[in-house]
Structures are given as C-alpha cells and as structure tokens.
A and B are shown apart, each in its own frame.
Chain A
Amino acid sequence: MDILIYGIINSVSLALIAIGFTLVYGISRLPNFAHGALYVANGFIVWSLLNILQINYILSIILSLIITGIIGAAIYQFILIRVRGMATSEIIASYAIGLAILEGFRWGGFKGMTYTLPVFIEGSIEIAGIPVDFQRILAVLIGGLAIFLLWLFTHYNRIGLALRGMAQDERAAMMLGIDSDLMALIAMALGSILAGLAGVVLLPMGNIVVEAGYNVLILAIAVCIVGGLGSWVGAVLAAFMIGFAQIITVRYIASHFHMVVALLAIIITLILRPSGIFGRQKQLEERV
C-alpha cells in the first residue's frame, strides 16, 4: 500500500519535472540542458523574494515563475536561437548555460543545508494507515493539474494548437504562417515556467541545493528518453514506470539506488526500443 501511495507521489513529481523538458524538445527540437538549473534557480529566487525582500509567499511564487519564464525566454532569444539546428552546439550551449547558472549559485554562497522553503500547508494526514504530509498531496494535485491544463492549452487554445502543429511538422507549420521562432520562444518560456513550478512544489520537501539541478536534469532526461523524446503521453507514462521502479528499489534494495534506476531505465530502453515508448524519430529518419 505504501508502495502505491509513494509510487504515485514519486511518479507525479517525476512527470512534473520532465514535462517542461519534453515540451521544449517536442516543439522546437531543442534539448534544454539548462532545465535542471532553472528548477534550482527558481527555488533560490523564491527564497530570495521571501527572505530578502520579505514578499508574501504566494506572491513570491508567482513572481518567481514569471522571472524564470523570462530567463528561459532570454536564453532562447539571445543564445539558443543562434545555434538552432546544430545539434552539438545546442547541447553544449544549453548545458554550459545550465552549468554557469548552477555553479554561479554555488559560488555565490547558495550551498549547504541552510536554504529551505516553507511547505504550503503544515501537517499530514493518514491514508490507509500511512501518514502522508499535505505538501506531497499538494504536489500530486498540482502536478496533475499542470499536466491537465497543459493538455487543455495545447488542444483548445490557438497558440497551443500552433505549438502542437509545430511539434508535428515544423516546415509545414511555417508554411501555414506559424512563426517558428516565436513558438520556440513561447515553448522555452513555458518549459522554464514548468521547471520552476516543479521546483516550487518539490523543493519545500527538502533543502535547496545546487546538486538538485543535476539530479533533476538526469531524471527529466531519463523520463523523456524512456517515454520517447518529445512525446507528452510517453513522458507521463514513463514517469509512472520509473517512479514506481524507484520506489520499489528503494523499498526492497537500498535507498541510494534512485539514480541507478534512472540510468538502467535509459539503457534498457535504448537497447530494446531506441525511440522510446512513444517515439517516432526512428521511423521518420528512414524515410526516402
């Protein structure tokens, strides 16, 4: 039973972490290796707004998400836009940006165990005899809500539809008058906000540490590869698979194997089905 509950919590958290990465990749084919950095950055921004500027918590969160979105958009507009289409440069540039942000925080003194965000609601309840704190329940609710809203947005909103069009066929979308750069910019901002949101929701359960940035990046990538890069349904499904696999390993083997599970999942996926559960790259590539 606890496996079920913690499995769900863990899976939704993973989905929340991964959804931003997969959104950006799905729409603009940009692997945003700065994803984890944005996650952590948002945490520090909230912390600063809250503790240095003494702004109200909810307001801080909203402000921080806006700031993170702007940072993401700026990264695209000033840097990534110049290297689009060159896979190697995209990876190296975004990874370097991520490193610069993370290590910059570390250098700036944001390290150790001193930085924490308050939980949204104190306390916990018992579900089927297992105590679960409210923050974790909120995380599941917010994660589920975010995924649902994103789905609504991309299916019923004009911009959302344009984004989806681009994800399917960039050139055709451009011929229909969709501005591919603008869409990529929006995707990047949205992806960054999602990374930030994940940070806001998940960070209160622990400390804000720079290392989390790397972990989040790895987890996001693991989920996306297993689900098929760029596939949203795949990402959610993969989040549940990896999420439960992790909880089960932690329960029956050892708690340090969190990350190892993620790597194993990637390797198994790559061997069995390189395009992921829902990927369609492989097939398209062969087209003559």
Chain B
Amino acid sequence: MSSEPILQVRNLHKAFGGLQALKDVSFDVHQGEIFGIIGPNGSGKTTLINCITGFIRMDSGKVSFRGKDISRQPPHKIAAMGVTRTFQIMRPYYTLPAYKNLIVPLFSSRARKAGGWRGGGRLGARDTVSIDILEEIGFERDSLVPYKLASTLPTGYLKRLEIARCLALRPEIILCDEVFSGLSMSEIASIIPLIERLQMDGITLIMIEHRLRELFRVTKRVMVLNFGEKLLEGIPEEVMADDEVKKAYLGSEEV
C-alpha cells in the first residue's frame, strides 16, 4: 500500500521573537509526487524548509519521514536519511570549480554507501562521479562548464548545482527553495524536463515557487501559505479559483 505518506508534517510552529513565522502547519507528501508550496514573500516558506531539514529548530510540532520522527535531528543526519534541500540564496563553494563542488556531498557516508562508486577510494574517483552527476543535471560534459569556477557561473547553473548537491546524496526527497526565481523563461523551460526526470527516477520533490504558471506545469497538488498559516491545499485550478488566495496574492503583489 502506498497510502502511508513519505513525509508527514504535523502542527508545526515556529516563532522568531514576537514574529510567528509558522503557525500550526500540517501536510502530507506522498512517495513520488511533486508537491508545490506557494505563498507571498515572507509567508514562511523558507522557514518551513529550514524546520523540516533541521536547519532551524521548530518550537513545536512533528515531522516524520517514512514514519520515523525526525523533528529533533540535526541537519546532517536528516540529509543522511535522504531528505535533502537546496538553498534559496545559492551556497556553492565559489572558489572551487563546479565539479569540485560535489566532492563534499560525495564524501558523505550516504553517498559512499549508495553508490558503491566505481573506482571506490581511488584518487580522483569522486571527480568522475561528480561529472556524471553534473551531466545528468544539464552541465554539458564536453564543454568547459563543469570545470569553471563556481563564482563565474551564471545563476541558472548555480541553481542546477544546488540540485546536483542533493543528487550526489542519492536523495529520497528534494526540497527545492525557489529554483525558478531569477531565471529566464527559456532557462526554466530547460529545467522543467530535468525535474520531470527526477520524478520518474522515483525522487519525491517539494517545490517552493513564486512562478505559479511554471510550477503548475509539473505539480498536481499545491499548498498555500499566508502569514505562516496554511490557507488551503488542493489541485492548482482549485487553488487559483479560491478567493482568499487571490486576496493574499493581490494584497501583497501581482500574481
């Protein structure tokens, strides 16, 4: 039975001083789906990811992954279970070439176990694996792009690099924080197939987005956050038709 959700969030609360950033948020995500989270700026989407992945300690609530409580785990343990994330503000190792950026995740014991990497501990073995992963995510293998310093890469590649870091861990879930923002239409068009392929590989995706139209091309189910509260959850058409959602979005910015 696939009815048990892969990720279950229950009654999550988080306050920063007086500011209630998340209030009683609950939702389920099922194996293999792409789950969208939308909401105006400052509605707590990034905070939600931070809480789920352990980067911020939640005040109360419970997060379970495959039925196992992960609410109080440190971030590296959660990542080691396969619950990975990208950062909205990209965090590559700017002083390293793109392919060397993946050495760090490939160094983790999860990556070692999952891969049984060809070549094992041989010097440079991780470099080849890293270039394979980069190719998978859209860095042309025969070009110079994978060898360029991360500081010289354009935003589109940095976003891919964020996803690549998750892929290096052989993830079960990737939580993507605004992967589309800051990209042009054509760049988004080239990333969407990658995302669909990840889904076909059996990876569950949680996507935070501002670009609703693009998000709705890949997702079947979205949740709306507003001022840290869950407004509603449903299929994209339902959500867009909802008055409160319109108000929340129009109240703060254009759709």
Does A283 sit within 8 A of B, measured CB to CB?
yes
User: Would you call A288 and B16 a contact (CB within 8 A)?
Assistant: no
Chain B interface size band reads under 10
Main secondary structure of the interface of A (DSSP, over half): loop
Q: Which of chain B's residues 86-127 have a Cβ closer than 8 Å to chain A?
A: 87-89
| A126 contacts the other chain (CB 8 A) | no
Which residues on the A side are within 8 Å of B16 (C-beta)?
283
Which residues in chain A, 266-288, are within 8 Å of chain B measured between CB atoms?
A: 283, 286, 288
Residue interface bits B36-58, CB-to-A below 8 A is 1, else 0:
00000000001000100001100
Residues of A within 8 A of B87 (CB): 288
Interface size for A (C-beta < 8 A) is 3
Q: How far is the CA of A288 from the CA of B16 in the complex (A)?
A: 13
- Give min CB distance, B41 to chain A, whole Å: 12
A268 to chain B, nearest CB (A): 19
Bound CA–CA A53/B248 (angstroms): 75
Residue of B with least CB distance to A288: B46
Bound Cα distance from A213 to B205, whole angstroms? 58
A280 nearest in chain B by CB position = B17
A286 CA to B91 CA, complexed, in Å: 13
A224 to B166, CA, bound (A): 39
Tell me, in angstroms, the Cα distance from A288 to B87 when the chains sit together: 9
8 A Cβ contacts from A241-288 to B: 283, 286, 288
Q: Give complex CA distance A286, B21 in Å.
A: 14
**Which residues of B are found within 8 Å of A288, using beta-carbon distances?**
46, 50, 87-89
Task: Return the chain B residue nearest A283 by Cβ.
Answer: B16
Residues on the A chain within 8 Å of B88, using CB: 288
Which residues from B are CB-within-8-Å of A283?
A: 16-17
CB contacts (< 8 Å) of B55 on chain A: these are 286
Binary interface encoding of chain A residues 19-55 relative to chain B, with 1 for a CB under 8 A from any of its CBs, else 0: 0000000000000000000000000000000000000
Note all chain B residues with C-beta closer than 8 A to A286.
50, 55-56
How far is A94 from B55 in the complex, measured between Cα atoms in Å?
A: 34
- Could you name 10 residue pairs across A and B whose Cβ atoms are closer than 8 Å? A283-B16, A283-B17, A286-B50, A286-B55, A286-B56, A288-B46, A288-B50, A288-B87, A288-B88, A288-B89
Known contacts A283-B16, A288-B46; 8 further A-B pairs (Cβ under 8 A): A283-B17, A286-B50, A286-B55, A286-B56, A288-B50, A288-B87, A288-B88, A288-B89
A residues touching B (Cβ–Cβ < 8 Å)?
Answer: 283, 286, 288
Q: Which 6 A-B pairs have the closest CB atoms?
A: A288-B46, A286-B56, A288-B88, A288-B89, A283-B16, A286-B55
